[in-house]
Chain A
Protein backbone atom coordinates (compact mmCIF):
# COMPACT_ATOMS: atom_id res chain seq x y z
CA UNK A 1 0.00 0.00 0.00
CA UNK A 2 3.00 2.31 -0.01
CA UNK A 3 2.39 3.17 -3.64
CA UNK A 4 2.88 6.95 -3.58
CA UNK A 5 -0.40 8.24 -2.26
CA UNK A 6 1.03 11.68 -1.89
CA UNK A 7 2.00 13.83 -4.80
CA UNK A 8 4.72 16.45 -4.49
CA UNK A 9 3.86 19.60 -2.60
CA UNK A 10 2.53 22.48 -4.63
CA UNK A 11 1.67 26.08 -4.02
CA UNK A 12 -0.99 27.06 -6.46
CA UNK A 13 -1.25 30.74 -7.08
CA UNK A 14 -2.21 33.39 -9.54
CA UNK A 15 -0.55 36.33 -11.21
CA UNK A 16 -2.96 38.94 -12.55
CA UNK A 17 -1.64 41.52 -14.99
CA UNK A 18 -3.68 44.63 -14.23
CA UNK A 19 -2.40 46.41 -17.32
CA UNK A 20 -4.07 43.77 -19.45
CA UNK A 21 -7.34 43.63 -17.49
CA UNK A 22 -10.10 45.51 -19.27
CA UNK A 23 -12.64 45.10 -16.50
CA UNK A 24 -15.00 43.14 -18.74
CA UNK A 25 -16.11 40.87 -15.90
CA UNK A 26 -15.84 37.63 -17.86
CA UNK A 27 -13.95 36.09 -14.95
CA UNK A 28 -16.82 36.86 -12.58
CA UNK A 29 -19.36 35.32 -14.93
CA UNK A 30 -17.24 32.23 -15.59
CA UNK A 31 -16.66 31.78 -11.88
CA UNK A 32 -20.32 32.03 -10.96
CA UNK A 33 -21.22 29.54 -13.63
CA UNK A 34 -18.45 27.11 -12.76
CA UNK A 35 -19.05 27.14 -9.03
CA UNK A 36 -22.84 27.32 -8.83
CA UNK A 37 -22.70 30.70 -7.15
CA UNK A 38 -26.25 31.81 -6.32
CA UNK A 39 -27.63 35.20 -7.30
CA UNK A 40 -30.70 37.20 -6.46
CA UNK A 41 -33.17 39.12 -8.56
CA UNK A 42 -31.80 42.35 -7.18
CA UNK A 43 -28.03 42.29 -7.05
CA UNK A 44 -27.60 45.98 -6.24
CA UNK A 45 -27.00 45.31 -2.56
CA UNK A 46 -23.33 44.37 -2.82
CA UNK A 47 -23.02 43.62 0.87
CA UNK A 48 -25.52 40.81 0.60
CA UNK A 49 -24.69 39.55 -2.87
CA UNK A 50 -22.17 36.77 -3.47
CA UNK A 51 -19.32 36.64 -5.93
CA UNK A 52 -16.12 34.67 -5.55
CA UNK A 53 -14.05 36.97 -7.72
CA UNK A 54 -14.91 40.65 -7.73
CA UNK A 55 -13.54 43.21 -10.14
CA UNK A 56 -12.80 46.49 -8.37
CA UNK A 57 -12.45 49.79 -10.16
CA UNK A 58 -9.52 51.88 -9.00
CA UNK A 59 -8.63 55.41 -10.07
CA UNK A 60 -5.61 57.56 -9.41
CA UNK A 61 -7.71 60.29 -7.86
CA UNK A 62 -6.59 62.97 -10.26
CA UNK A 63 -8.89 65.37 -12.15
CA UNK A 64 -9.87 64.90 -15.78
CA UNK A 65 -6.91 65.12 -18.10
CA UNK A 66 -4.79 62.94 -15.82
CA UNK A 67 -7.46 60.49 -14.67
CA UNK A 68 -6.49 56.87 -14.98
CA UNK A 69 -8.60 53.82 -14.32
CA UNK A 70 -7.48 50.35 -13.33
CA UNK A 71 -9.59 47.27 -12.83
CA UNK A 72 -8.52 44.81 -10.16
CA UNK A 73 -10.02 41.31 -10.08
CA UNK A 74 -9.86 39.90 -6.57
CA UNK A 75 -10.33 36.17 -6.00
CA UNK A 76 -9.55 34.54 -2.65
CA UNK A 77 -5.89 35.31 -1.92
CA UNK A 78 -5.26 31.85 -0.42
CA UNK A 79 -2.95 33.28 2.22
CA UNK A 80 -0.10 31.04 3.30
CA UNK A 81 0.43 32.77 6.59
CA UNK A 82 3.83 33.59 7.98
CA UNK A 83 6.38 30.88 7.22
CA UNK A 84 3.85 29.04 5.06
CA UNK A 85 2.38 27.31 8.09
CA UNK A 86 -1.10 27.83 6.71
CA UNK A 87 -2.13 30.17 9.49
CA UNK A 88 -4.10 32.39 7.19
CA UNK A 89 -6.47 34.82 8.91
CA UNK A 90 -9.60 32.77 8.24
CA UNK A 91 -8.13 29.35 9.06
CA UNK A 92 -6.84 30.64 12.38
CA UNK A 93 -10.24 31.79 13.59
CA UNK A 94 -12.57 29.07 12.32
CA UNK A 95 -14.05 27.29 15.36
CA UNK A 96 -15.71 24.59 13.25
CA UNK A 97 -12.70 23.28 11.29
CA UNK A 98 -14.73 24.27 8.25
CA UNK A 99 -11.97 26.19 6.60
CA UNK A 100 -8.60 24.60 6.25
CA UNK A 101 -5.26 24.97 4.54
CA UNK A 102 -4.05 22.04 2.46
CA UNK A 103 -0.32 21.66 2.80
CA UNK A 104 -0.24 19.70 -0.45
CA UNK A 105 -1.74 22.41 -2.66
CA UNK A 106 -1.63 25.56 -0.56
CA UNK A 107 -5.32 26.08 -1.20
CA UNK A 108 -7.56 27.43 1.54
CA UNK A 109 -10.65 25.26 1.53
CA UNK A 110 -14.18 25.85 2.73
CA UNK A 111 -16.33 22.88 3.71
CA UNK A 112 -19.96 23.94 3.51
CA UNK A 113 -21.37 20.96 5.37
CA UNK A 114 -19.02 21.72 8.24
CA UNK A 115 -19.58 25.49 8.43
CA UNK A 116 -22.20 26.68 10.90
CA UNK A 117 -22.19 30.29 9.80
CA UNK A 118 -20.57 32.14 12.71
CA UNK A 119 -18.82 34.41 10.15
CA UNK A 120 -15.65 34.85 12.17
CA UNK A 121 -13.72 34.16 8.98
CA UNK A 122 -15.51 36.98 7.20
CA UNK A 123 -14.42 39.36 9.91
CA UNK A 124 -10.89 38.00 9.89
CA UNK A 125 -10.40 38.12 6.13
CA UNK A 126 -8.80 41.45 5.19
CA UNK A 127 -9.71 40.97 1.52
CA UNK A 128 -13.49 40.58 1.81
CA UNK A 129 -13.36 37.41 -0.25
CA UNK A 130 -15.82 35.55 1.94
CA UNK A 131 -19.54 35.76 1.51
CA UNK A 132 -22.41 34.61 3.63
CA UNK A 133 -25.48 32.87 2.28
CA UNK A 134 -28.31 34.88 3.74
CA UNK A 135 -30.84 32.85 1.79
CA UNK A 136 -31.12 29.44 0.23
CA UNK A 137 -30.25 29.73 -3.45
CA UNK A 138 -33.21 30.08 -5.80
CA UNK A 139 -32.43 29.36 -9.42
CA UNK A 140 -34.56 30.56 -12.29
CA UNK A 141 -36.73 27.76 -13.60
CA UNK A 142 -34.75 25.21 -15.56
CA UNK A 143 -31.39 26.53 -14.42
CA UNK A 144 -30.94 23.68 -11.95
CA UNK A 145 -30.12 21.60 -15.00
CA UNK A 146 -27.12 23.78 -15.71
CA UNK A 147 -25.56 23.47 -12.28
CA UNK A 148 -22.16 21.83 -12.10
CA UNK A 149 -22.29 18.43 -10.39
CA UNK A 150 -18.67 18.85 -9.30
CA UNK A 151 -19.39 21.67 -6.87
CA UNK A 152 -21.88 21.48 -4.01
CA UNK A 153 -24.67 24.00 -3.99
CA UNK A 154 -24.49 25.92 -0.72
CA UNK A 155 -27.35 26.17 1.69
CA UNK A 156 -28.54 29.13 3.73
CA UNK A 157 -26.38 30.00 6.71
CA UNK A 158 -22.91 29.05 5.49
CA UNK A 159 -19.93 31.01 4.27
CA UNK A 160 -18.47 30.44 0.83
CA UNK A 161 -15.46 31.64 -1.12
CA UNK A 162 -13.19 30.98 -4.06
CA UNK A 163 -11.55 27.53 -4.03
CA UNK A 164 -9.23 28.03 -7.02
CA UNK A 165 -11.62 25.60 -8.74
CA UNK A 166 -10.29 22.78 -6.58
CA UNK A 167 -12.61 20.30 -8.27
CA UNK A 168 -10.69 20.88 -11.48
CA UNK A 169 -7.51 19.89 -9.67
CA UNK A 170 -9.12 16.67 -8.52
CA UNK A 171 -10.49 15.85 -11.94
CA UNK A 172 -7.12 16.57 -13.52
CA UNK A 173 -5.46 14.22 -11.05
CA UNK A 174 -7.97 11.50 -11.88
CA UNK A 175 -7.16 11.86 -15.54
CA UNK A 176 -3.44 11.69 -14.79
CA UNK A 177 -3.87 8.50 -12.75
CA UNK A 178 -5.81 6.80 -15.51
CA UNK A 179 -3.09 7.76 -17.99
CA UNK A 180 -0.49 6.27 -15.66
CA UNK A 181 0.98 9.54 -14.40
CA UNK A 182 1.40 10.60 -10.79
CA UNK A 183 1.39 14.32 -11.39
CA UNK A 184 -0.52 16.80 -13.48
CA UNK A 185 0.73 19.25 -16.06
CA UNK A 186 0.35 23.00 -15.79
CA UNK A 187 -2.30 23.23 -18.49
CA UNK A 188 -4.40 20.44 -17.00
CA UNK A 189 -5.37 22.48 -13.97
CA UNK A 190 -6.48 26.00 -14.75
CA UNK A 191 -9.21 27.91 -12.99
CA UNK A 192 -12.39 28.98 -14.78
CA UNK A 193 -11.53 32.68 -14.50
CA UNK A 194 -8.09 32.10 -16.01
CA UNK A 195 -9.55 30.39 -19.02
CA UNK A 196 -12.37 32.90 -19.42
CA UNK A 197 -10.16 35.99 -19.41
CA UNK A 198 -10.20 37.28 -23.02
CA UNK A 199 -7.16 39.51 -22.38
CA UNK A 200 -5.15 36.64 -20.85
CA UNK A 201 -4.52 38.85 -17.83
CA UNK A 202 -4.71 35.95 -15.37
CA UNK A 203 -1.97 33.34 -15.17
CA UNK A 204 -2.43 30.37 -12.91
CA UNK A 205 0.00 27.69 -11.81
CA UNK A 206 2.34 26.33 -9.19
CA UNK A 207 4.32 29.19 -7.66
CA UNK A 208 7.18 26.96 -6.54
CA UNK A 209 7.57 25.04 -9.79
CA UNK A 210 10.10 26.76 -12.09
CA UNK A 211 8.45 25.15 -15.12
CA UNK A 212 5.24 27.08 -14.53
CA UNK A 213 4.73 30.56 -15.97
CA UNK A 214 3.74 32.10 -12.64
CA UNK A 215 7.15 31.25 -11.16
CA UNK A 216 8.86 33.91 -13.27
CA UNK A 217 5.99 36.38 -13.33
CA UNK A 218 5.72 36.67 -9.57
CA UNK A 219 9.37 37.75 -9.35
CA UNK A 220 8.83 40.69 -11.70
CA UNK A 221 9.75 44.09 -10.24
CA UNK A 222 6.23 45.20 -11.14
CA UNK A 223 4.64 42.51 -8.99
CA UNK A 224 2.87 43.37 -5.77
CA UNK A 225 0.36 41.83 -3.42
CA UNK A 226 -2.66 43.22 -1.63
CA UNK A 227 -2.06 44.46 1.91
CA UNK A 228 1.45 43.08 1.92
CA UNK A 229 2.22 44.59 5.29
CA UNK A 230 -0.36 42.46 7.08
CA UNK A 231 1.98 39.54 6.39
CA UNK A 232 -0.80 37.25 5.32
CA UNK A 233 1.41 36.08 2.43
CA UNK A 234 -1.24 35.82 -0.25
CA UNK A 235 -0.74 33.56 -3.24
CA UNK A 236 -2.28 36.03 -5.66
CA UNK A 237 0.17 38.46 -7.22
CA UNK A 238 -0.64 41.52 -9.29
CA UNK A 239 1.43 43.10 -12.02
CA UNK A 240 1.36 46.69 -13.18
CA UNK A 241 3.75 49.09 -14.84
CA UNK A 242 1.95 52.01 -13.23
CA UNK A 243 3.28 53.09 -9.89
CA UNK A 244 -0.03 54.42 -8.55
CA UNK A 245 -1.60 51.00 -9.14
CA UNK A 246 1.17 49.26 -7.24
CA UNK A 247 0.73 51.80 -4.46
CA UNK A 248 -2.99 51.04 -4.34
CA UNK A 249 -2.20 47.56 -3.09
CA UNK A 250 -1.86 48.74 0.49
CA UNK A 251 -2.92 51.65 2.69
CA UNK A 252 0.09 53.91 2.74
CA UNK A 253 0.26 57.21 4.61
CA UNK A 254 1.03 60.28 2.54
CA UNK A 255 4.67 60.51 3.62
CA UNK A 256 5.06 56.75 3.21
CA UNK A 257 3.73 57.13 -0.28
CA UNK A 258 6.40 59.62 -1.13
CA UNK A 259 9.13 57.42 0.30
CA UNK A 260 7.75 54.32 -1.34
CA UNK A 261 7.40 56.11 -4.64
CA UNK A 262 11.06 56.99 -4.64
CA UNK A 263 12.04 53.49 -3.56
CA UNK A 264 9.85 51.87 -6.18
CA UNK A 265 11.11 54.16 -8.95
CA UNK A 266 14.66 53.22 -8.08
CA UNK A 267 13.77 49.54 -8.23
Chain B
Protein backbone atom coordinates (compact mmCIF):
# COMPACT_ATOMS: atom_id res chain seq x y z
CA UNK B 1 0.00 0.00 0.00
CA UNK B 2 2.82 2.35 0.95
CA UNK B 3 4.57 1.71 -2.35
CA UNK B 4 1.46 2.63 -4.32
CA UNK B 5 1.05 5.73 -2.17
CA UNK B 6 4.54 6.81 -2.96
CA UNK B 7 3.91 6.22 -6.60
CA UNK B 8 0.80 8.36 -6.54
CA UNK B 9 2.78 11.01 -4.66
CA UNK B 10 5.49 10.94 -7.26
CA UNK B 11 3.00 11.11 -10.06
CA UNK B 12 1.17 14.00 -8.43
CA UNK B 13 4.42 15.83 -7.84
CA UNK B 14 5.47 15.30 -11.42
CA UNK B 15 2.20 16.54 -12.82
CA UNK B 16 2.23 19.46 -10.41
CA UNK B 17 5.79 20.25 -11.45
CA UNK B 18 4.89 20.16 -15.12
CA UNK B 19 1.80 22.33 -14.70
CA UNK B 20 3.05 25.18 -12.57
CA UNK B 21 6.38 25.32 -10.79
CA UNK B 22 5.36 28.21 -8.58
CA UNK B 23 2.46 26.58 -6.68
CA UNK B 24 4.30 23.56 -5.32
CA UNK B 25 2.07 22.79 -2.39
CA UNK B 26 2.83 19.71 -0.26
CA UNK B 27 -0.83 19.62 1.01
CA UNK B 28 -1.81 17.99 -2.36
CA UNK B 29 -0.47 14.70 -1.08
CA UNK B 30 -2.77 14.82 1.93
CA UNK B 31 -5.85 15.33 -0.23
CA UNK B 32 -4.83 12.49 -2.52
CA UNK B 33 -4.34 10.24 0.48
CA UNK B 34 -7.79 11.07 1.81
CA UNK B 35 -9.34 10.29 -1.59
CA UNK B 36 -7.36 7.08 -1.78
CA UNK B 37 -8.66 5.95 1.60
CA UNK B 38 -12.19 6.97 0.63
CA UNK B 39 -11.91 5.11 -2.67
CA UNK B 40 -10.58 2.03 -0.92
CA UNK B 41 -13.43 2.21 1.56
CA UNK B 42 -15.99 2.45 -1.22
CA UNK B 43 -14.40 -0.46 -3.11
CA UNK B 44 -14.45 -2.63 -0.02
CA UNK B 45 -18.08 -1.72 0.65
CA UNK B 46 -18.99 -2.59 -2.93
CA UNK B 47 -17.14 -5.90 -2.73
CA UNK B 48 -18.38 -7.01 0.65
CA UNK B 49 -21.89 -5.59 0.83
CA UNK B 50 -23.15 -4.58 -2.60
CA UNK B 51 -21.65 -7.49 -4.59
CA UNK B 52 -23.29 -10.23 -2.50
CA UNK B 53 -26.58 -8.35 -2.86
CA UNK B 54 -26.16 -8.34 -6.63
CA UNK B 55 -24.93 -11.92 -6.80
CA UNK B 56 -27.57 -13.46 -4.58
CA UNK B 57 -31.29 -13.16 -5.01
CA UNK B 58 -33.65 -13.87 -2.15
CA UNK B 59 -36.70 -16.05 -2.22
CA UNK B 60 -39.43 -16.39 0.37
CA UNK B 61 -40.35 -19.77 1.79
CA UNK B 62 -44.09 -20.49 1.40
CA UNK B 63 -44.48 -19.90 5.14
CA UNK B 64 -42.31 -19.94 8.22
CA UNK B 65 -41.52 -23.08 10.17
CA UNK B 66 -40.44 -23.54 13.77
CA UNK B 67 -38.04 -26.45 14.06
CA UNK B 68 -37.50 -26.07 17.81
CA UNK B 69 -41.21 -26.34 18.53
CA UNK B 70 -41.58 -29.46 16.40
CA UNK B 71 -38.52 -31.11 17.92
CA UNK B 72 -40.18 -30.88 21.36
CA UNK B 73 -43.26 -32.75 20.11
CA UNK B 74 -41.69 -35.64 18.20
CA UNK B 75 -40.06 -38.72 19.69
CA UNK B 76 -37.38 -39.65 17.19
CA UNK B 77 -35.48 -36.39 16.64
CA UNK B 78 -34.76 -35.30 13.08
CA UNK B 79 -35.65 -38.72 11.69
CA UNK B 80 -39.28 -38.33 12.81
CA UNK B 81 -39.90 -36.20 9.74
CA UNK B 82 -36.71 -36.54 7.69
CA UNK B 83 -36.57 -40.30 7.48
CA UNK B 84 -35.04 -43.03 5.36
CA UNK B 85 -37.25 -44.92 2.98
CA UNK B 86 -37.01 -48.69 2.84
CA UNK B 87 -35.15 -48.60 -0.45
CA UNK B 88 -32.34 -46.63 1.19
CA UNK B 89 -33.18 -43.22 -0.21
CA UNK B 90 -33.68 -40.24 2.05
CA UNK B 91 -37.04 -38.49 2.20
CA UNK B 92 -35.69 -34.95 2.62
CA UNK B 93 -38.33 -32.31 3.22
CA UNK B 94 -41.55 -33.97 4.42
CA UNK B 95 -44.48 -34.39 2.08
CA UNK B 96 -47.96 -33.10 2.82
CA UNK B 97 -49.11 -36.59 3.73
CA UNK B 98 -46.66 -36.78 6.63
CA UNK B 99 -47.54 -33.31 7.91
CA UNK B 100 -51.21 -34.20 7.91
CA UNK B 101 -50.49 -37.19 10.15
CA UNK B 102 -50.32 -34.69 13.01
CA UNK B 103 -51.77 -31.57 11.40
CA UNK B 104 -55.14 -33.03 10.42
CA UNK B 105 -56.53 -30.05 12.27
CA UNK B 106 -55.25 -26.65 13.34
CA UNK B 107 -53.28 -27.15 16.56
CA UNK B 108 -51.35 -24.08 17.63
CA UNK B 109 -53.27 -21.58 15.57
CA UNK B 110 -50.21 -19.60 14.57
CA UNK B 111 -50.31 -17.49 11.43
CA UNK B 112 -48.10 -19.90 9.53
CA UNK B 113 -50.14 -22.91 10.48
CA UNK B 114 -53.28 -21.20 9.23
CA UNK B 115 -51.56 -20.46 5.90
CA UNK B 116 -50.55 -24.12 5.74
CA UNK B 117 -54.09 -25.29 6.31
CA UNK B 118 -55.90 -22.81 4.12
CA UNK B 119 -53.58 -22.92 1.13
CA UNK B 120 -52.12 -26.41 1.15
CA UNK B 121 -54.11 -28.84 3.26
CA UNK B 122 -57.47 -27.54 2.03
CA UNK B 123 -56.37 -27.76 -1.63
CA UNK B 124 -54.34 -30.97 -1.14
CA UNK B 125 -51.23 -29.23 -2.48
CA UNK B 126 -47.63 -30.09 -1.65
CA UNK B 127 -45.75 -27.30 0.10
CA UNK B 128 -43.11 -26.02 -2.36
CA UNK B 129 -40.29 -25.81 0.19
CA UNK B 130 -37.06 -24.28 -1.02
CA UNK B 131 -34.21 -26.67 -0.21
CA UNK B 132 -31.22 -24.90 1.33
CA UNK B 133 -28.72 -27.68 0.84
CA UNK B 134 -29.70 -28.89 -2.61
CA UNK B 135 -26.59 -29.97 -4.45
CA UNK B 136 -26.08 -29.43 -8.19
CA UNK B 137 -27.50 -32.03 -10.56
CA UNK B 138 -24.17 -33.71 -11.21
CA UNK B 139 -23.74 -34.65 -7.55
CA UNK B 140 -24.83 -37.89 -5.93
CA UNK B 141 -25.10 -37.67 -2.17
CA UNK B 142 -26.08 -40.60 -0.02
CA UNK B 143 -27.58 -39.74 3.35
CA UNK B 144 -27.57 -43.43 4.25
CA UNK B 145 -23.82 -43.72 3.79
CA UNK B 146 -23.20 -40.75 6.07
CA UNK B 147 -25.89 -40.96 8.72
CA UNK B 148 -26.23 -44.74 9.04
CA UNK B 149 -22.95 -46.23 7.87
CA UNK B 150 -20.61 -43.53 9.16
CA UNK B 151 -22.91 -42.65 12.09
CA UNK B 152 -22.56 -38.95 11.50
CA UNK B 153 -24.67 -36.38 13.27
CA UNK B 154 -27.13 -34.29 11.20
CA UNK B 155 -25.57 -31.27 12.87
CA UNK B 156 -22.18 -31.86 11.24
CA UNK B 157 -23.51 -30.67 7.90
CA UNK B 158 -26.77 -28.92 8.72
CA UNK B 159 -25.82 -27.00 11.85
CA UNK B 160 -28.33 -25.98 14.47
CA UNK B 161 -31.36 -25.83 12.18
CA UNK B 162 -33.13 -28.22 14.54
CA UNK B 163 -33.06 -25.63 17.31
CA UNK B 164 -34.12 -22.67 15.16
CA UNK B 165 -37.44 -20.96 15.69
CA UNK B 166 -37.80 -19.64 12.17
CA UNK B 167 -36.46 -20.46 8.72
CA UNK B 168 -33.48 -18.53 7.40
CA UNK B 169 -33.86 -16.49 4.22
CA UNK B 170 -33.35 -18.60 1.13
CA UNK B 171 -30.77 -17.06 -1.15
CA UNK B 172 -29.63 -18.37 -4.49
CA UNK B 173 -26.80 -17.44 -6.81
CA UNK B 174 -28.12 -15.57 -9.84
CA UNK B 175 -25.49 -17.07 -12.12
CA UNK B 176 -25.47 -20.69 -11.04
CA UNK B 177 -28.93 -20.76 -9.38
CA UNK B 178 -27.39 -22.80 -6.53
CA UNK B 179 -28.42 -22.08 -2.97
CA UNK B 180 -26.13 -19.79 -1.03
CA UNK B 181 -25.59 -22.53 1.55
CA UNK B 182 -23.31 -24.29 -0.93
CA UNK B 183 -20.81 -21.43 -1.03
CA UNK B 184 -21.57 -20.36 2.51
CA UNK B 185 -22.72 -17.09 4.02
CA UNK B 186 -19.20 -15.70 4.13
CA UNK B 187 -18.53 -14.14 0.74
CA UNK B 188 -14.79 -14.72 1.11
CA UNK B 189 -15.49 -18.41 1.56
CA UNK B 190 -14.16 -18.53 5.12
CA UNK B 191 -15.42 -21.34 7.26
CA UNK B 192 -15.65 -21.65 11.04
CA UNK B 193 -18.00 -24.59 11.50
CA UNK B 194 -18.32 -27.79 9.54
CA UNK B 195 -21.78 -26.77 8.39
CA UNK B 196 -20.82 -23.34 7.06
CA UNK B 197 -20.14 -24.52 3.54
CA UNK B 198 -20.97 -27.46 1.25
CA UNK B 199 -18.53 -27.10 -1.58
CA UNK B 200 -16.73 -30.00 -3.18
CA UNK B 201 -13.58 -29.24 -1.21
CA UNK B 202 -15.51 -29.52 2.05
CA UNK B 203 -16.73 -33.00 1.13
CA UNK B 204 -13.32 -34.13 -0.05
CA UNK B 205 -11.51 -32.69 2.99
CA UNK B 206 -13.66 -34.77 5.31
CA UNK B 207 -13.31 -37.84 3.11
CA UNK B 208 -9.55 -37.42 3.16
CA UNK B 209 -9.44 -36.87 6.90
CA UNK B 210 -11.44 -40.02 7.56
CA UNK B 211 -9.73 -42.04 4.84
CA UNK B 212 -12.92 -42.81 2.93
CA UNK B 213 -12.15 -44.79 -0.23
CA UNK B 214 -8.91 -42.95 -0.86
CA UNK B 215 -8.07 -45.26 -3.72
CA UNK B 216 -8.26 -43.33 -6.95
CA UNK B 217 -5.57 -44.19 -9.48
CA UNK B 218 -5.41 -40.67 -10.84
CA UNK B 219 -5.32 -38.61 -7.66
CA UNK B 220 -4.58 -41.13 -4.90
CA UNK B 221 -7.48 -39.45 -3.09
CA UNK B 222 -11.17 -40.30 -3.31
CA UNK B 223 -12.34 -41.21 -6.80
CA UNK B 224 -14.60 -38.54 -8.33
CA UNK B 225 -17.15 -41.24 -9.02
CA UNK B 226 -17.99 -41.51 -5.33
CA UNK B 227 -20.05 -38.31 -5.52
CA UNK B 228 -20.20 -37.29 -9.18
CA UNK B 229 -22.68 -38.99 -11.42
> Does A101 sit within 8 A of B, measured CB to CB?
yes
Among A1, A98, A178, contact of B84 (Cβ-Cβ < 8 Å): A178
B217 touches A91 (CB 8 A): yes
**What are 25 contact pairs spanning A and B, CB under 8 A?**
A3-B150, A6-B212, A98-B224, A100-B217, A100-B224, A101-B218, A101-B223, A102-B215, A102-B223, A103-B215, A103-B216, A103-B223, A104-B213, A104-B223, A109-B223, A113-B228, A114-B228, A150-B229, A152-B137, A152-B138, A171-B88, A173-B142, A173-B145, A175-B86, A178-B87
Instruction: Using known A-B contacts A3-B151, A5-B149, A178-B84, determine if residue A102 contacts B89 with beta carbons closer than 8 Å.
Output: no
A91 touches B142 (CB 8 A): no
Bound complex: CA A258 to CA B215 (Å): 43
Q: List A contacts of B224 (CB < 8 A).
A: 97-98, 100, 109, 111, 114
Q: Is the interface of B mostly helix, strand, loop or mixed?
A: loop
Q: List A contacts of B226 (CB < 8 A).
A: 102
Residue on B nearest A98 in the bound complex, by CB: B224
B149 touches A182 (CB 8 A): yes
Cβ contacts A25-68/B at 8 Å (1 or 0 each): 00000000000000000000000000000000000000000000
A103 touches B217 (CB 8 A): yes
A176 touches B88 (CB 8 A): yes
| B-side interface residues, number (CB < 8 Å) | 32
Q: Which of A1-17 contact B (CB under 8 A)?
A: 1, 3-6
Besides the known contacts A1-B151, A104-B215, A174-B142, 7 further A-B residue pairs in the complex with CB atoms under 8 A apart: A5-B210, A111-B224, A150-B229, A171-B89, A177-B144, A177-B149, A178-B84
B229 touches A167 (CB 8 A): yes
Residue on B nearest A149 in the bound complex, by CB: B137
